[in-house]
Amino acid sequence: MKNRLAYIIALLLTMTPASALAMPWSWDMFLQPSCRAQKCPAPPTPPGLIPTTGDPFYAKDRAEAAKLKNPFPMTAESIERGRQRYNIFCATCHGDSGVGNGPVGQKYVTPADLTSAYVQSKPDGDIFYTITHGGLAVMPSYRDSVAQDDRWHIVNYIKGFFGRAAEKKPQGAASAAR
Ligand code: HEC
């Protein structure tokens, strides 16, 4: 009988979960200095925050964006930076040569031909707006993946590289290349 009781106690002890042995449970969350809503002064602003207002390239719509000035002159460095970013973010749809024949572009809605007079005649700020907010119909926004400066470099690449390539081609060659 005594042996059996000792056996049961031993059994119960081995079954005790580790969390129960750690009791009393932590009261830290309960005991922390707490404040009711609107009762304490706001904590100081941590350094290094990026303000959400004062965006130098903020435009409320496409028409306003068209007035934005490209802060980067069309240098070889800017075009090269734009080429790299274009190949990463845009070529999947618009194609390496910009005519809209990228692998995703062929399966998805046909993308705009970036070498066309339609796109080439657009102000830099309009194309910047398209990258930031997406196209007129289905093209997604690239605001979260392409940095502001890089958007302007991409604009320089579209105009400086595709634009000049289109100038050399006879009329209609861009669409024939599809
Ligand atoms: C997922 C495919 C896809 C990707 C990636 C994409 N585009 Fe587009 N783009 C489209 C489609 C489709 C259209 C035409 C329909 C529309 O405007 O939404 C278009 C239209 C455009 C236009 C013309 C808009 C107008 O004013 O009519 C420009 C300029 C453009 N894209 C630039 C870019 C640039 C620059 C990138 C890279 C940052 C990019 N696109 C990435 C699919 C894409």
- Looking up residue 126, the CATH number of its domain turns out to be 1.10.760.10
Q: Which residue has the higher pLDDT, 54 or 68?
A: 68
Identify the pLDDT of residue 142. Answer: 97
% of the chain at pLDDT higher than 70: 84
The alpha carbon of 169 and the centre of ligand 1 are apart by a number of angstroms equal to: 22
The answer to whether the beta carbons of residues 112 and 102 sit under 8 Å apart is no
Per-residue pLDDT at 167 exceeds 80 = no
Number of domains in the chain: 1
Residue 46 lies in a domain: no
Going by C-alpha positions, the residue among 77, 78, 57 that lies closest to residue 148 is 57
Residue 74's domain spans which residues?
62-176
Q: Is 88 in the pocket of ligand 1 (CB under 6 A)?
A: no
Residue 57 lies in a domain: no
Residue 22 lies in a domain: no
Residue 28 lies in a domain: no
Residue 100 lies in a domain: yes
Per-residue pLDDT at 169 exceeds 80 = no
Q: Alpha helix locations (H) across the chain? A: 2-15, 18-21, 28-31, 62-65, 76-89, 91-94, 103-107, 117-120, 124-133, 148-157, 164-168, 173-176
Residue 3 lies in a domain: no
Identify the pLDDT of residue 178. Answer: 41
**Neighbour-count burial of 165, counting CB atoms closer than 10 A to its CB (0-12 exposed, 13-18 middle, 19+ buried):** middle
CA distances for 44 relative to 48, 49, 53, 118, 140, angstroms: 12, 12, 19, 50, 37
Q: Is 104 in the pocket of ligand 1 (CB under 6 A)?
A: yes
Its pTM stands at 0.74
Residue 38 lies in a domain: no
Residue 140 lies in a domain: yes
